Amino acid sequence: MPRVVDGEVRRTEIAEAVLRVLARDGVEAVTMRGVAVELGCTTGMLTHWVEGRAELIRLALAGIVQRQTDRALACLEGGAGIDAVVQALEQFLPLDDERREEAIIWLGFWALAVHDPALRFENRDRYCEFRRTCTRFLRDQGAPAGAASLVVDHVMSTVDGMAVAAVLEPEHWTVARQRRTLRHVVEMVRDSLGGSRG
Predicted confidence (pLDDT) per residue in 108-162, tens digit:
888 888 888 888 888 888 888 888 888 887 788 777 878 888 888 899 999 999 9
Q: Residue 5's pLDDT is what?
A: 61
Cβ partners under 8 Å of residue 159, min gap 6: 89, 92, 93, 182
Q: Residue 111's pLDDT is what?
A: 84
Q: List Cα–Cα distances, 38 to 20, 28, 92, in angstroms.
A: 8, 14, 27
The half-sphere exposure of 146 on its side-chain side, counting CA atoms within 13 A, is: 0
CATH architecture of 7-192: Orthogonal Bundle (1.10)
One-letter identity of residue 106: W
CA 179 to chain centre: 18
Q: Residue 179's pLDDT is what?
A: 97
Domain ranges of the chain: 7-192
Positions of the chain with pLDDT under 70: 1-5, 194-198
pTM of the model: 0.81
Q: How far apart are CA 23 and CA 7, in angstroms?
A: 24
Q: Residue 1's pLDDT is what?
A: 39
